[in-house]
Amino acid sequence: MSDTSALEIQRAIERLSALSPDDREAFNLAVTLATLLGLRRGLPDQQMLVALHAAMRHLRTRQSHEVH
């Protein structure tokens, strides 16, 4: 269940972040959503951090591709 929850969190962050790569508010909303989802599902802090870091890597990669 934890792996599924982490994946759901990552996907939610990616969907919200897709609104605008430069929109810090959208990313902050995504982090808040991820935290709430993780807390609701009882996801361990470590797995929430792993999901958030993966999503942030995805965003940085996408942003660097959009700039070039």
pLDDT of residue 8: 76
Higher pLDDT, 30 or 68: 30
Degrees, nearest 5: CA angle 24-19-9: 80
What are the pLDDT digits (tens) for 1-29? 466 777 777 777 777 767 665 667 777 77
Predicted pLDDT at 1:
46
What integer is the mean pLDDT of 40-50? 74
Percent of the chain whose predicted confidence (pLDDT) is above 70: 75
Helices then strands, counting H and E runs in the chain, come out as 3, 0
